Amino acid sequence: MAQNLEPELIVALEAARRAGAVVMEHYQAFTAIPDARADITTQADRDSQEIILRCLHDAFPDDGLIAEERTPALALAPSRSARRWIVDPIDGTRGFARKNGEFSVMIALMEADCILLGVVLEPVTDRVTFATRGHGCWWHDGATGAPTRCRVRAVDRLSEAVLTQSHSRSPSRQATLAAALAPARKIETYSAGLKLALVARGEADVYLNTYDTINDWDICAGQILVEEAGGRVTDWSGEPIRYGAAAGVRKGLLASNGALHDPALKVMRLTAS
């Protein structure tokens, strides 16, 4: 039986909303950095994280906290906990720094190896996509928008698929694999949260990530969106995504509508061999 996670979801959505408002204040005053590096961090990242972590800790003081930035609120959490919140205060900070809108706020809740909840907020459009285990994936625009159920798109041919990936230049491993998949169309964006939400909402069918290192906070909130919308998420060898210190270095990530997952894995294996 699926857990009742409504209290946790309400707090996570409110935390994301508060953080998103502060992020937008920074964003509007920020001077764009056209050549921003992949590892850039900003005061907006740190302020967003403090708001989220304090909101979560106030509501659930016994839960652990895992987040990208080294901010004071991390010390509030117990060293051992059955549940842990995993937070990326701004996923796709290059999109923030370049002021192209391609960033998100990501909040997830895990217990043991199970992702219980995920929230991905897109501050510029005020769009939020969220899911709880066993209760589906939903999205809405604005604070008063009525939630709409998310479903992956029913496409079973790679030639008809929409592929979403990070911005890239040829030649690269990503460009080679994307060419081999030969989708009908590509959507490039900086944020993994955005890309996973696109798959969950049926706006893209395959998300390919070829990074050698992917942190928990980069993908945790987005994974449950795809799965609860009917899709599938693995590394690019087809193995389940593992979280925590034992995960080690992941072999990229592949998210799909499910029907395209095995065909995409086959193409990737043939291309890599």
Q: What is the pLDDT of residues 228-263, one digit of tens each?
A: 999 999 988 899 998 885 555 567 899 999 999 999
Model pLDDT, residue 3: 82
38 and 113: one domain?
yes
- The CA–CA distances, whole Å, from 198 to 39, 102, 237, 263 equal 23, 12, 22, 20
Helix, strand, coil share (%) of the chain residues, nearest 5: 35, 25, 40
Q: Kindly give the pairing relationship between strand 83-91 and strand 114-122.
A: unpaired
pLDDT at 175: 83
Residue at a domain's end among 149, 169, 195: 149
Q: Which two tokens stand for residue 49?
A: 């994280």
Mean pLDDT rounded to a whole number for the chain: 91
Confidence class for position 142, pLDDT limits 50, 70, 90: confident
Residue 107 — pLDDT band, cuts 50, 70, 90?
very high
Would the pLDDT of 273 be above 80? no
Same-domain check for residues 200 and 118: no
Residue pair 206/163 in contact by the 8 Å Cβ criterion: yes
Residues 66 and 143 in one domain: yes
Check: pTM over 0.75? Answer yes or no. Answer: yes
Shared domain check, 166 and 143: no
1 pLDDT more than 60? no
The DSSP secondary-structure symbol of 160 reads G
User: Can you tell me the mean pLDDT for 126-145?
Assistant: 91
Q: Which of 128, 149, 170 is the last residue of a domain?
A: 149
Counts of helices then strands in the chain (DSSP H, E): 7, 12
Last residue of one domain, picked from the residues 92, 123, 149: 149
Q: Is the distance from CB of 116 to CB of 203 less than 8 angstroms? A: no
What's residue 152's pLDDT? 98
Give residue 170's pLDDT: 58
